[in-house]
Structure formats: structure tokens, C-alpha cells
A = this chain, B = another copy of it.
Amino acid sequence: MIFEATIHVMPKKEILDPQGKAVKLGLSNLGLKNIEDVRIGKHITMQVNAATREEASREVELACEKLLANLVMESYEFELEKLR
């Protein structure tokens, strides 16, 4: 079966997000002054070929922990949707 995984990797709440701060400043300079608390992470989609949803879930967890997220500074969450 093919599953579509949608993964979000975000900087942890207690950690400063310098990229978010830079974007907030940029938006403010563009006149958008009502925007606060900008945080920027990664949005990753992938297709996983697996026999079961549990197996697909394990593959995506491994991918996140070994490559996609730096667990010291980032947390991740994901959803799986069965494509076919």
C-alpha cells in the first residue's frame, strides 16, 4: 500500500526561532504590523510504500528521528493518509 505522509518539523517552543524573528521584522517593515509570534519550520511530504499503516508509521518515525528533525531543537508530528 502507498501512504502519503505529511510531516511538520518545528523549532521547540522554548527555543528562540531566529528565522521567525527575522520574518516578523520583515513583515513589520512591509507595513504588516499586526503579526506576532512567527515561527518557521519544515513541511515535508513523502510517499511510503508499506504493507500496513503501522509499518509506514515506523518508517516515517525513523526518517524523522534519523534525518529530518534535530531532536535537541526541533519536534515533529506527522499524519499518514492511505493513497492506494
Contacts and interface: CB of A to CB of B under 8 A. Distances in A.
* Copies of this chain: 2
* Size bin of chain A's contact surface: 20 to 34
Given A32-B62, A59-B32, A67-B23, A37 B46 contact: yes
Contact of A34 (B9, B36, B48, B66): B48
A contact face: mostly helix, strand, loop, or mixed: strand
Given A26-B67, A27-B63, A68-B23, A44 B38 contact: yes
Interface centre among A27, A41, A46 (most CB of B within 10 A): A46
A50 to B, nearest CB: 6
Interface string A30-55: 10101111111111111111100000
Contacts of A46: 24, 35-39
